[in-house]
């Protein structure tokens, strides 16, 4: 069974700081990779996804992520965070090509201080 | 993005009763839907895959007789928690993939069993 590791469970940053959240997965085959965000009191929303092609993917709200196959990683980045980025961030993986459910990491709780 | 709804958003029931949760894809059809469970401050765990017109497939450790799933149409899947007990209290979330393979999540249903 595949697993997903998010290295930071809690991250506290000041506004305008740069952000990088780590995500590593265990599956060695073709994967589809996702980052979801859950704002307080709201449901999961897709930030960005990688299926194939350019390993640097850009998502909504200025977020981007880079797929590094050799490192089994899909880290999320944002050059300058805002207070409104305070949320829970989940990395998720699916084996490519199948109609399978997602395997989620434990999530990272990001707090942005004004 | 695609929209997935869930009903009810929260439910409180007595131990021993059954509770039905509905998941609907509002603007697209989904032959497959997924049910997840999220414990407080933890990640989402895939419970089962709901298949339109056929039996659901359950993840290891999930009791199929406890969590009944019916995928009645291309836009509706239901999860029934039978003979609920306090340990079934949790946040239940469904998702549905669009034709592109991206999963969109419902807002979740919070179940409290007294």
DSSP designation for A69: G
Give the HSE-up count for residue B78: Cα atoms under 13 Å, Cβ half-sphere.
Answer: 12
Q: Which string of b and e fits A26-60 if b means at least 16 CB within 10 Å? A: ebeeebbbbbbbbeeeebbebbbbbbeeeeebebe
Q: Which two tokens stand for residue B94?
A: 């469904």
Residues B93 and B44: beta-carbon distance below 8 Å = yes
Kindly provide the b/e burial profile for residues A62-97, where b requires at least 16 CB atoms within 10 angstroms of the residue's own CB: ebbbbbeeeebbbbbebeebeeebbbbbbbbbbeee
Residue B83 has what pLDDT? 96
pLDDT by residue (tens digit) across B21-62? 999 999 999 999 999 999 877 789 999 999 998 899 999 999
Q: How far apart are CA B105 and CA B33, in angstroms?
A: 10
pLDDT for the residue A61: 94
pLDDT at B100: 84
Query: What 8-state DSSP symbol labels residue A111?
Result: E
Closest chain B residue by Cα to residue A98: B101
Q: What's the pLDDT score for residue A97?
A: 67
Mean of pLDDT values over B85-106: 93
A43 with B49: Cβ contact below 8 A: no
Rounded Cα distance, B32 and A101, in Å = 10
Contact B91, B110 (CB under 8 A): yes
**Residuewise pLDDT in 10s, chain A (114 residues):** 679 999 889 999 999 999 999 999 998 788 999 999 999 888 899 999 999 999 999 999 999 999 999 999 999 999 999 999 999 999 999 987 667 899 999 999 999 998
Among candidates A31, A57, A30, which has minimal Cα distance to A46?
A: A57
d(CA A65, CA B106): 24
Residue B86 phi, psi dihedral angles, 5° rounding:
-50, -35
> Which residues in chain A have their CB less than 8 angstroms from residue B106's CB?
43
> Does residue B17 have a pLDDT over 90?
yes
- Predicted local confidence at residue A100, as pLDDT: 85
CB A14 within 8 A of CB A30: no
Closest CA to A72 of A27, A13, A104, A15: A27
Nearest-Cα distance to chain B for A104, in Å, is: 6
Provide the pLDDT for residue A1: 67
- Collect all residues of chain A within an 8 Å Cβ-Cβ radius of residue B108: 43
Q: What is the pLDDT of residue B101?
A: 83
Predicted pLDDT of residue A19:
97
* Average pLDDT rounded to a whole number, residues B67-92: 95
Chain B residues closer than 8 Å to A37 by CB? none
Collapsed DSSP state (helix, strand, coil) of residue A25: strand
């Amino acid at each position: 069974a595949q697993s997903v590791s998010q290295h930071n469970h809690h991250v506290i940053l000041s506004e305008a700081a740069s952000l990088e959240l780590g995500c590593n997965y265990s599956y060695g085959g073709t994967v589809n990779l996702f980052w979801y965000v859950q704002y307080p009191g709201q449901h999961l929303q897709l930030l960005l996804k990688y299926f194939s092609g350019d390993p640097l993917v850009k998502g909504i709200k200025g977020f981007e992520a880079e797929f590094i196959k050799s490192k089994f990683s899909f880290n999320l980045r944002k050059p300058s965070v805002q207070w409104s980025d305070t949320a829970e961030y989940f990395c998720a993986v699916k084996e490519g090509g199948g109609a399978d459910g997602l395997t989620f990491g434990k999530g990272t709780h990001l707090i942005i201080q004004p | 993005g695609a929209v997935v709804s869930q009903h009810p958003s929260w439910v409180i029931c007595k131990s021993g009763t059954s509770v039905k949760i509905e998941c609907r894809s509002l603007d697209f059809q989904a032959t497959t839907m997924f049910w997840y469970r999220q414990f407080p401050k933890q990640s989402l765990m895939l419970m089962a895959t709901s298949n339109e017109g056929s039996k659901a497939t359950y993840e290891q450790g999930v009791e199929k007789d406890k969590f009944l799933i019916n995928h009645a149409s291309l836009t509706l899947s239901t999860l029934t928690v039978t003979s609920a007990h306090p340990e079934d209290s949790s946040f239940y979330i469904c998702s549905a993939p669009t034709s592109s393979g991206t999963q969109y999540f419902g807002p979740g249903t919070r179940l409290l069993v007294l």
